[in-house]
């Protein structure tokens, strides 16, 4: 939800950090690196500070397991497509490009992990060919800059135009810091998903090069850190394309809830994935 208001920020008029007036909020679906819990993080406009709106997780209803609630926004349907964007010359001839392509395909095709999202009226997508961007990213890159870069690459024909019917996974090379307001990757967050322009997209996940701490509770493998982040951001993008407008549990998305009750899980093809909350099962996803 770009520069709007949700029920958790509708009453907030002043920034608690700098005291300036807040016109609106940018909502971003973020996986925290341990210091701040995974949730829909709120960035005040225009000052850019993150405002803590509280955990706000609803109490479990007595007679129903339907914790996840749909707010009416765009959802991922059948026929949607993923494009992996590897930003920078670092990725030329890197074996990880193929490994990541395979992981995205395995996650998307998994009948249980991704197929189970049909309970949320979410379909299965396919993977188009990846693009390696031959200009290197700046050493620090904000979510707004990633969104505007995607728009300019679409306009120049550098990447395919998905027209809102799909999303881009943006992979950053080692040593590049992603920022959300004054927050930096690996310091307070692992990865996130966002939209460049609200319900119009383009929709994207951002995967900084795997952080060495705080983003993998299961193994010491950087690739496992990557697939845990990817699985979570892909799932949350699909079910909540414009953060906060799709399927949410209070101020959390459906994997955020399970991050707070974390269990290590793998899909049948071997990749480590983060669980999502299933209304149908009344529990977090298990293989």
Q: Does 107 bind Zn ion (CB under 5 A)?
A: no
For residue 284, the cross-strand partners are 277
Q: Near Zn ion by CB under 5 A, which window of 14-22, 86-94, 134-142, 165-173?
A: 14-22
Q: Does 154 bind Zn ion (CB under 5 A)?
A: no
Residues 37-66, interacting with Zn ion (CB under 5 A): 47, 49
* Closest C-alpha to 103, from 117, 93, 113: 113
CB of 197 to Zn ion, least distance (A): 17
Q: Near Zn ion by CB under 5 A, which window of 8-16, 31-39, 77-85, 87-95?
A: 8-16
Q: Does 17 bind Zn ion (CB under 5 A)?
A: yes
Q: Near Zn ion by CB under 5 A, which window of 7-15, 86-94, 176-184, 265-273?
A: 7-15
> Per residue, what are the HEC states of the chain?
CCCECCCCCCCCCECCCCCCECCEEEEEEEEECCCCCCEEEEEEECCCCEECCCCCCCCCCCCCCCCCEECCCCCCCCCCEEEEEEECHHHCCCHHHHHHHHHHHHHHHCCCCCHHHHHHCCCCCEECCCEEECCCCCCEEEHHHHHHHHHHHHHCCCCCCCCCCEEEEEECCCCCEEEECCEEECCCEEEEEEECCHHHCCEEEEECCCCCCCCCCCCCCHHHHHHHHHHHHHHHHHHCCCCCCCEEECCEEHHHHHHCCCCCEECCCCCEECCCEECCCCEECCC
Q: Near Zn ion by CB under 5 A, which window of 12-20, 88-96, 195-203, 277-285?
A: 12-20
CB of 237 to Zn ion, least distance (A): 18
Q: Does 15 bind Zn ion (CB under 5 A)?
A: yes
Size of the site for Zn ion (CB under 5 A): 9
To 5 degrees, how large is the angle CA 92–CA 97–CA 99? 150
Q: Near Zn ion by CB under 5 A, which window of 16-24, 213-221, 230-238, 265-273?
A: 16-24
Q: Does 170 bind Zn ion (CB under 5 A)?
A: no
Nearest residue (CB) to Zn ion, 19 versus 95: 19
Nearest residue (CB) to Zn ion, 15 versus 167: 15
To 5 degrees, how large is the angle CA 106–CA 109–CA 112? 100
Q: Does 6 bind Zn ion (CB under 5 A)?
A: yes
Nearest residue (CB) to Zn ion, 8 versus 277: 8
CB of 44 to Zn ion, least distance (A): 5
Q: Does 21 bind Zn ion (CB under 5 A)?
A: no
Nearest residue (CB) to Zn ion, 8 versus 90: 8
Q: Does 9 bind Zn ion (CB under 5 A)?
A: yes
CB of 140 to Zn ion, least distance (A): 19
Residue 222 main-chain phi, psi, to 5 deg: -65, -35
Residues that bind Zn ion (CB under 5 A): 6, 8-9, 15, 17-18, 25, 47, 49
């Amino acid at each position: 939800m770009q520069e709007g208001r949700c029920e958790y920020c509708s009453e907030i008029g002043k920034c608690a950090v700098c005291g300036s007036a807040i016109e609106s909020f940018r909502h971003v679906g973020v996986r925290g690196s341990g210091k701040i819990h995974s949730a829909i993080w709120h960035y005040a406009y225009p000052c850019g500070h993150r405002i803590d709106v509280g955990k706000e997780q609803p109490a479990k209803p007595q007679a129903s397991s339907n914790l996840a609630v749909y707010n009416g926004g765009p959802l991922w349907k059948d026929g949607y497509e993923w494009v992996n964007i590897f930003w920078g010359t670092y990725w030329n001839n890197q074996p990880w490009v193929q490994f990541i392509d395979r992981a995205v395909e395995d996650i998307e095709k998994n009948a249980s992990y991704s197929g189970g999202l049909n309970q949320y009226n979410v379909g299965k997508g396919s993977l188009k060919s990846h693009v390696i961007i031959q200009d290197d990213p700046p050493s620090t890159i904000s979510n707004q800059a990633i969104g505007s870069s995607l728009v300019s690459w679409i306009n120049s024909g550098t990447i395919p135009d998905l027209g809102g019917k799909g999303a881009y996974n943006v992979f950053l090379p080692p040593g590049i810091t992603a920022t959300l307001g004054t927050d930096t990757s690996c310091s307070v967050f692992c990865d996130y998903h966002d939209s460049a322009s609200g319900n119009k997209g383009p929709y994207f996940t951002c995967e900084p090069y795997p952080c060495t701490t705080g983003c993998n509770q299961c193994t010491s493998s950087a690739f496992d850190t990557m697939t845990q982040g990817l699985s979570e951001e892909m799932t949350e993008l699909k079910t909540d394309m414009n953060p906060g407008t799709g399927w949410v549990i209070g101020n959390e998305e459906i994997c955020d809830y399970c991050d707070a009750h974390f269990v290590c899980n793998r899909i049948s093809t071997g990749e480590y994935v983060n669980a999502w909350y299933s209304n149908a099962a009344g529990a977090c996803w298990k293989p």
